[in-house]
Structure 1
Amino acid sequence: MHETIEVARALREGTHPLLQLQAGELRAAITPEVGGSLASFSREWKDGGRTRELHWLRPASDEGLANRNPLAMASFPLVPYCNRIRGGRAHFGDRDVHAPPNHPAEDSPHPLHGIGWQRAWVVEVEAAAEVILRLEVPAGPAWPWAFSARQAYVLSPDRLEIAIAVRNEDTVPMPVGIGHHPYFPHEPGTRLATQTRAIWEADDEVMPTRLDGSSAVVRQLREGADLSQLHTDNNFTGWSREARIDWPASDHGPERSLVMTAEAPLDFFVLYRQRGYDYFCAEPVSQCTDWLNLQDRYATVDLGGAVLAPGQGIAARFWLKPQW
């Protein structure tokens, strides 16, 4: 609990507002100025006269908040596309994408996660258990279509609901993808179970190379995988839109689990699990990596993504439901 208090104090004393939500024993904190990100999602309860705290997502670090680094948050939005675009170059309709590299810690030519995660969002609604944020982005080289986006974080006593929407504010059709990027704690014995149809195998630059429906990873996840045995940074197609995470009893808390469910068009799933890290990412998304550059070779069912007419929007929700 001490770490969360210090983070909150640092934000209050600085320039970054931290919006606190509370419902029953569940707590959430949102930082609009750091990419409209979720800074923490936790449970706080009394145990033998003392207050205890357990984090369902990796909480934001003081350093990450001070540096405005969304990659150090608990989760951040993915708009108007998810994952990477090869070389930052793509073409759609009569417009070209020329997105520059945008990873603050890696020398990669492939920009990732869209635009929204690196911009400050505006607060539209702030209540005890709900925050609604808004973002407006003009057309530019990185994304040559004007768009707006909204997020809603709604906390209930048994779950956190996150809704995300994008609207085409331009005069021509715009391709789009949406999603979120949760970071979950990993410790020995953590398991993840979810169903997918196939995995996108990737090269050393994490760019898709081929679809594999018979992959051992697909089978392991379907049966419930021990995450300590996996080393992956891959997209999956045909996601069931549900994933269950189980943590063993440890110094971090009692035996517990969390179920993440989503609605269409979040039909794709990203799993980032790297050996040596005390976290992993399980991401609900609406399109696979580099989908704009793969449309001439693969079907929409394998790539995802949508096209919005001027004034048209796309929206989806997902839920994080802890169990203890």
Structure 2
Amino acid sequence: MTEATSSHPIVWLHHAGQHLGLVPTLGGSVAAWQIDDPQDASARIDLWRPWDGATPDLYQLASFAMVPWSNRISGGGFEHAGQFHPMRPNRVGEPYPIHGDGWLQPWQLTQPAPDTLQMELRSEHFDGNSYEYECVQTFRLVDGGLDQSVQVRHLGAQPLPYGLGLHPWFPRTPGTRITAPVQGVWLCGDDPLPTEHTQHFPPGWDLNTGAPANGGLIDNAYTGWGGTAQIDWPERGLRLTAHMPDFEKDGGTAQHYCLVYRPPQGPAFCFEPITQPIDAFHQPGQPGLRTLAQGEVMVMNVQWRYQPLTG
């Protein structure tokens, strides 16, 4: 079902007591992911903060994919195999290019199955950058949750480093907490580019013991992520979990990162599964980035599940 609430129509998928709205023309983004309220048959509960259906600001959407890299790149670009690849800033107010270019382009939507929607993009040197790729996002509603996949295929003749990520926004209540096994965190300056890696978490930042979704600014990447996470809403009696089903195959804790964006104000925060830390292009060894030759593929799979929060 398509709902034309703005110049960017929402395409809805209703299955397994869930409601997923996609906006292919606006960066291949998600407008909403909702479940039926068990206490009120006429109401829905938002698992991701919903889009208002009007604003074109991608940061107001429920979620979007980050491809062919996530977060920020400093230095006006990056060097690979002896060649410099210039990258231009791509968001007003941001001095660095951020979150790749897939979120800035329209995608094509298909429905391969009653429980599944897909969006596809072919990107060729967007905004003058060096990347040529195809990307497919897959969303499958299953009992108790959502299986989400992002697959990118490199098309260019010259190999290039790739990264992937997801950028969901979660509503936050006063008691909301995010818990995940992590080993360290990159501290940063005001940029916020990373300046120092530490295993000593600032107060309120330790995801291992659970960090409050409200508080001072966090806009930082965590290292040694164990590939699982949970968000608890005590006031709603609800828990949402994330699980990386290919965790071991993809390198375990050494190759998994996540990012928390906790703005001091506002109704939402972000927990982002990512394959590389902030500005990995300029870190020694380019951690987490994967060099793809022509035709090679990189995939990120995430299983989201919701359940009652007890105790």
Structure 1, gaps ≥5 residues long: 1-7
Counterpart of 2:18 in structure 1 is 26
- Is 1:286–2:275 an aligned residue pair? yes
Compute the displacement of 1:14 (Å): 4.4
- Is 1:82–2:70 an aligned residue pair? yes
The 1:316–1:13 alpha-carbon spacing in structure 2 relative to 1, beyond 3 Å, is closer
Counterpart of 1:227 in structure 2 is 213
How far apart in 2 are the matches of 1:189 and 1:174?
A: 43
Higher helix share: 1
**Which range moves more in the overlay, 81-90 or 174-183?**
81-90
Counterpart of 1:110 in structure 2 is 96
Compute the displacement of 1:137 (Å): 1.1
Counterpart of 1:123 in structure 2 is 109
The letter for the 1-side match of 2:272 is: E
Structure 2, gaps ≥5 residues long: none
How far apart in 2 are the matches of 1:158 and 1:133?
A: 22
Cα deviations by residue, 1:105-144 (Å, 9 ceiling, x for unpaired): x2x2211000000100112435432111111111356431
Cα deviations by residue, 1:43-94 (Å, 9 ceiling, x for unpaired): 124646x512110110011332xx2x32111110000000000143211125
The equivalent position to 2:36 in structure 1, one of 31, 44, 48, is 44
Cα deviations by residue, 1:232-252 (Å, 9 ceiling, x for unpaired): 100011101111111122xxx
- Is 1:260–2:242 an aligned residue pair? yes
How far apart in 1 are the matches of 2:169 and 2:125?
A: 30
How far apart in 2 are the matches of 1:18 and 1:219?
A: 36
The answer (yes or no) to whether the contact 2:257–2:277 under 8 Å persists in 1 is yes
Equivalent residue runs for 1:99-248 within 5 Å? 99-104=87-92, 106=93, 108-139=94-125, 142-216=128-202, 220-248=206-234
The answer (yes or no) to whether the contact 1:96–1:144 under 8 Å persists in 2 is no
The 1:90–1:227 alpha-carbon spacing in structure 2 relative to 1, beyond 3 Å, is same
How far apart in 2 are the matches of 1:13 and 1:235?
A: 35
How far apart in 2 are the matches of 1:91 and 1:144?
A: 11
The letter for the 2-side match of 1:58 is: R
What's the secondary structure of 1:71's corresponding residue?
A: helix
Compute the displacement of 1:97 (Å): 2.5
What's the secondary structure of 1:209's corresponding residue?
A: strand
How far apart in 1 are the matches of 2:266 and 2:4?
A: 30
How far apart in 1 are the matches of 2:280 and 2:232?
A: 32
The answer (yes or no) to whether the contact 1:95–1:144 under 8 Å persists in 2 is no
- Is 1:56–2:39 an aligned residue pair? no
The letter for the 2-side match of 1:179 is: G
The answer (yes or no) to whether the contact 1:57–1:184 under 8 Å persists in 2 is yes
Counterpart of 2:290 in structure 1 is 306
- Is 1:97–2:85 an aligned residue pair? yes
What's the secondary structure of 1:96's corresponding residue?
A: strand
What TM-score, normalized by structure 2, do the two folds share? Answer: 0.90
The answer (yes or no) to whether the contact 1:194–1:222 under 8 Å persists in 2 is yes
**Which range moves more in the overlay, 177-186 or 126-135?**
126-135
